[in-house]
Amino acid sequence: MSGFMETEEQARHRFQLELEFVQCLANPNYLNFLAQRGYLREKPFVNYLKYLLYWKEPEYAKFLKYPHCLHMLELLQYEHFRKELVNAQCTKFIDEQQILHWQHYSRKRTRLQQALAEQQQQHQPQAPSHGNTTSK
């Protein structure tokens, strides 16, 4: 273990690779791809997934554009989850749920805006009209 040396250049390149790879894990279709080709059954790969957990640390996490990948990474630590990913229906379901969750905040914001708009409409009739020509 101590025999492996890499230059700073190589380490930086490896950083890029691992940054990309860990974020790819946010894609359920990619996970299905990995599972069907048997990668998720290989011990070295499983060990690699455990190694990748360092992306949870704040000093690394700040580089992640797609934070969903961290949740997937955590789930991937469990053998049960890895086994289920072979099933395309399973990953399709995950994909759907993930997208719905992704829309959660925008839906919430839309609802809030609607509620706000309704509130303002309720107040509007109380205000005396100023003969505002722009409203026409």
Partner 1 sequence: LASAFMAAAAEKSTKEKLLSTLDDIEVLSRELIEMLALSRTQKLPQPGEDTDILELLVQRDKEFQELMQTAVEQGEVHQEMQALEKEVEKRDSDIQQLQKQLKEAEHVLATAVYQAKEKLKSIEKARKGSISSEEIIKYAHRISASNAVCAPLNWVPGDPRRPYPTDLEMRSGILGNMSNMPTNGVNGHLPGDALAAGRLPDILTPQYPWQSADVSMGILPPHHGNDFGLEPPGHNKENEDDVEAMSTDSSSSSSDSD
Number of residues that bind partner 1 (CB under 8 A): 63
Nearest to 18 by CA among 55, 43, 47, 46: 55
Nearer to partner 1 by Cβ, of 66 and 93: the residue is 66
* Rounded (5°) CA angle 31-34-40: 100
11 binds partner 1 (CB under 8 A): yes
Q: Considering only residues 44, 125, 128, 131, which one is a binding residue for partner 1 as defined by CB under 8 A?
A: 44
Find the helix packing angle between 68-76 and 28-36, rounded to 10°: 30
Nearer to partner 1 by Cβ, of 71 and 119: the residue is 71
- In the complex, minimum distance from the CB of residue 123 to partner 1, in angstroms, rounded to a whole number: 25
Nearer to partner 1 by Cβ, of 33 and 86: the residue is 33
- In the complex, minimum distance from the CB of residue 136 to partner 1, in angstroms, rounded to a whole number: 29
User: Could you give the 3-state DSSP secondary structure of residue 1?
Assistant: coil
From 26-34, 114-122, 126-134, span contacting partner 1 (CB under 8 A): 26-34
Q: Is 38 left (phi over 0), alpha (psi -120 to 50) or beta?
A: left
CA distances from 136 to 40, 122, 131, 132, 133 (A): 64, 20, 10, 8, 6
Q: Which residues bind partner 1 (CB under 8 A)?
A: 1-4, 8, 11-21, 23-24, 26-30, 32-33, 38-39, 41-48, 50-51, 54, 58-60, 62-69, 77-80, 83, 95, 98-99, 102-103, 105-106, 109-110
